[in-house]
């Protein structure tokens, strides 16, 4: 590409709300054949709400929810906010906690009135040596509905399965369709439950799903997709997306994302939605196109 075509392309990008932080990103985007996208906060709003709660036999719903909310009140995760808001909406008194722990990619734990409470993914319960099979049917149904199933243990015994749902951004379906029209493959990379991720991918027509990825696994997922499909653009918004943004041929941060993601990116979508990605790719083809 000539310096002039890069200048023109970068200028037009700015008009479209696509900020090229590095000049060679425009060139690299033109050659992209796969776009990998983080789910939470990128495809979805990143603002889940609590939708379901099922309590183990013999326990009391309000008490279990209050204890779960007590632990989640100390967490920064969007899932945590959903649970705390639901408890508040029900007017529950949330007890004080101590010894809070956050186990990234798994869940959270704390002592509530001297009793250990653990909340997180099925793999967290498995790690604690708990069997979640009593809730297997419920978990399967929730996943198929595109909801994220989570489990709670109180005093080392399985106490509940809860679910949160995070709506797909209104702008996402059109953006995915536009990427397909441009001939790109679209993949989703997420720490979320496999069934949940697959349900959402199916709704959006996403071609490939890499689910239940631990934060450090996102880079390995990017490498694998690059090896399989060629030049890759990764789109993400979170702190945990920064290494994957750096690993991709083109890292694209959603503009309302965290500063750390923006710092790691080559391109920033000022609009905060995914439509900037097909726009940027079309722009790179139009401006860099045949000028070599
Ligand atoms: P993602 O942002 O893609 O969901 P994370 O690594 O942040 O990836 O979380 C992975 C999974 O770990 C979540 O889907 C959830 O099952 C579990 N988890 C993380 N934090 C919490 C929390 N505060 N409460 C309950 N579960 C959690
Ligand atoms: Mg995210």
Instruction: Enumerate residues 6+ apart whose C-beta is below 8 A from 69.
Output: 83, 84, 86, 87, 88, 92, 94
142 lines ligand 1 (CB under 6 A): no
Distance 41 CA to ligand 2 centre (A): 4
Residue 206 has pLDDT above 60, yes or no: yes
Distance 192 CA to ligand 1 centre (A): 7
Question: Two tokens at 261?
Answer: 């993601």
Per residue in 3-30, pLDDT (tens digit) is: 888 888 888 888 888 999 887 898 899 9
Boundary residue ending a domain (116, 144, 165): 165
236 lines ligand 1 (CB under 6 A): no
Same domain, 61 and 114: yes
Residue 260 lies in a domain: yes
Spatial contact of 16 and 276, defined as CB atoms under 8 Å apart: yes
Residue of 107, 221, 235 with the most ligand 1 atoms within 8 Å of its CB, for mutation: 107
Ligand number with the minimum distance to the CA of 82: 1
Q: What is the pLDDT of residue 292?
A: 45
279 lines ligand 1 (CB under 6 A): no
Provide mean pLDDT across the span 99-103.
97
Nearest CA to ligand 1 atom 20: 107
Q: What is the pLDDT of residue 6?
A: 83
pLDDT averaged over every residue in the chain: 94
Same domain, 276 and 175: yes
Boundary residue ending a domain (102, 135, 165): 165
Distance 183 CA to ligand 2 centre (A): 25
Q: What was the ipTM of the complex prediction?
A: 0.94
Q: What is the pLDDT of residue 290?
A: 53
Residue 292 lies in a domain: no
Give the model's confidence band at 211: pLDDT under 50 very low, under 70 low, under 90 confident, else very high: very high
Spatial contact of 268 and 19, defined as CB atoms under 8 Å apart: yes
CA–CA dist 248, 211 (Å, integer): 18
CA–CA dist 78, 193 (Å, integer): 15
Same domain, 145 and 174: no
Residue 13 lies in a domain: yes
Same domain, 185 and 40: yes
Residue 109 lies in a domain: yes
Same domain, 88 and 121: yes
CATH number of the domain to which 98 belongs: 3.40.1110.10
Same domain, 155 and 183: no
Structural domains of the chain, count: 2
CA–CA dist 10, 14 (Å, integer): 6
Per residue in 50-87, pLDDT (tens digit) is: 999 999 999 999 999 999 999 999 998 999 999 999 99
* Torsion sign, CA atoms 243, 249, 255, 259: positive
Residue 262 structural domain = 3-45+168-287
Residue 84 lies in a domain: yes
Ligand number with the minimum distance to the CA of 42: 2
Give percent of the chain above pLDDT 90: 81
Same domain, 68 and 138: yes
Q: Which residue has the higher pLDDT, 38 or 271?
A: 38
Residue 1 has pLDDT above 80, yes or no: no
Per residue in 213-269, pLDDT (tens digit) is: 988 899 999 999 999 999 999 999 988 899 999 999 999 999 877 888 889 999 999
The CA-atom distances, in angstroms, between 2 and each of 7, 12, 29, 286 are 9, 16, 15, 13
CATH number of the domain to which 203 belongs: 3.40.50.1000
Same domain, 263 and 131: no
Same domain, 244 and 255: yes
Residue 176 has pLDDT above 70, yes or no: yes
Provide mean pLDDT across the span 161-185.
97
pTM of the entire predicted model: 0.92
Boundary residue ending a domain (133, 165, 197): 165
């Amino acid at each position: 590409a000539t310096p002039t075509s890069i200048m023109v392309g970068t200028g037009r990008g700015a008009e479209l709300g696509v900020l090229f932080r590095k000049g060679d990103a425009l060139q690299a985007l033109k050659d992209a054949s796969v776009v990998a996208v983080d789910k939470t906060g990128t495809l979805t709003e990143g603002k889940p709400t609590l939708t379901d709660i099922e309590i183990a036999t013999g326990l009391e719903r309000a008490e279990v929810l209050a204890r779960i909310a007590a632990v989640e009140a100390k967490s920064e995760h969007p899932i945590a906010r959903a649970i705390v808001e639901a408890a508040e909406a029900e007017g529950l008194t949330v007890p004080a906690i101590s010894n809070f722990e956050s186990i990234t990619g798994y869940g959270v734990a704390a002592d509530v009135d001297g009793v250990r409470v653990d909340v997180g993914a099925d793999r967290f319960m498995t790690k604690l040596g708990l069997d979640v099979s009593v809730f297997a049917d419920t978990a399967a149904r929730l996943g198929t509905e595109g909801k994220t199933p989570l489990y709670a243990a109180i005093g080392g015994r399985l106490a509940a399965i809860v679910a949160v749902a995070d709506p797909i951004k209104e702008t996402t379906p059109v953006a995915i369709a536009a990427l397909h029209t441009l001939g790109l493959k679209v993949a989703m990379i997420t720490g979320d439950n496999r069934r949940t991720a697959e349900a959402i991918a199916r709704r959006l027509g996403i071609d490939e799903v890499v689910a239940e990825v631990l934060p450090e696994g996102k880079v390995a997922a990017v490498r694998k997709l690059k090896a399989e499909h060629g030049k890759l653009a990764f789109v993400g918004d979170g702190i945990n997306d920064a290494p994957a943004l750096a690993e991709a041929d083109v890292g694209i941060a959603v503009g309302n994302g965290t500063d750390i993601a923006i710092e790691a990116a080559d391109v920033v979508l000022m609009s905060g939605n995914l439509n900037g990605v097909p726009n940027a790719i079309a722009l790179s083809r139009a401006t860099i196109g045949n000028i070599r």
